[in-house]
Amino acid sequence: MISKAEIKTIASYKQAKHRNEEEVYIVEGVKMVDELLISNQEIEILCATKEYNNPDQVRAKKVLEIKEDDLKRISSLSTPNQVLAVVKRQEAKIPIIKSKIVLVLDNIKDPGNLGTIIRIADWFGIEDIICSENTVDLYNPKTIQSTMGSIFRVNVTYYNLSQFLSLVPKGHPIYGTIVEGGKNIYKEALTKEAIIIIGSESHGISSAIRDLITHPITIPSFSIAQSAESLNASIATSIIVSEFKRREV
């Protein structure tokens, strides 16, 4: 059974400061933890109620039985669901580019958007995401939970974007959505290898890197009133990535 000291420690990981110090993050709920157990992530502690019965849980370094009430204490969910895991971070400090299409996120602020973008990347076979250093915390519980397990399959690296983009070989296409003067993504020929920059929810792509875009694009609006102001960052990402990938079909 979990001890009071362990409850206190794990509950402290709700705060970014403590998560960062220990280089861990929290994964919660049956579905997410089932996915975690078949991933290659290193599981420090798994706290499970009697109801949770995935036999793979033995692969965690430490398995602790926990009561419903104590699970509530350590959980960030409004309705905790049987199991919570403390996982060791395995992030690369330098961006490694494996996939043909790489997403670059510039100052995404909403954890739900970041999580959803990771899920989109996973669906479309994009293995690498580079985030600006001011992008929301990957290890925010809301980000983790909204990836629905895709966090275990996509490499996310935080890095200085100007520096990262300056390392891109000359001629390698860098796409970015801009409001004025971008080419219609539905009509434009798209390259098979590409870096795609996604701007922040409120400010778009920052001026520091806007000039590095070699292929400015735009998603045209069909709004009758021409009034819908913008698309949510994760929605724009899905439309753009879908356009790149469908041409491979």
Binding site for a copy of itself (CB under 8 A): 112, 116, 119-120, 122-125, 127, 148-150, 153, 184, 186-187, 219-225, 227-232, 234-235, 238-239, 242-243, 245-246, 248-249
**From the CB of 168, what's the least distance to a copy of itself, in Å?**
23
Pick 106 or 128: Cβ nearer a copy of itself: 128
Please, which residues bridge with residue 47 across strands? Answer: 64, 84
We find the least distance from the C-beta atom of residue 75 to a copy of itself, in angstroms, to be 19
Shortest distance, CB of residue 105 to a copy of itself, whole angstroms? 16
Residue 17 host element (H or E):
helix 16-22
What's the rounded Cα separation, in Å, for the pair 160 and 79? 37
Q: Which is nearer to a copy of itself, 133 or 180 (CB)?
A: 180
Residue number with CB closer to a copy of itself (38 or 208): 38
Residues 239, 231 contacting (CB under 8 angstroms): yes
| Ramachandran angles phi, psi of 20, nearest 5° | -65, -45
- Nearest approach, Cβ of residue 150 and a copy of itself (Å): 6
Q: Give kind and range of the element (H or E) at residue 217.
A: strand 215-218
Comparing CB distances to a copy of itself, the nearer of 44 and 127 is 127
* Pair type for strands 128-131 and 101-105: parallel
Q: How far apart are CA 188 and CA 218, in angstroms?
A: 10
Q: Measured from the CB atom, is 97 or 219 closer to a copy of itself?
A: 219
Least distance (Å) from a copy of itself to the CB of residue 242? 5
Give dist(CA 160, CA 103) in Å, integer. 14
Write the CB contacts of 247 (distance below 8 Å, at least 6 apart in sequence). 190
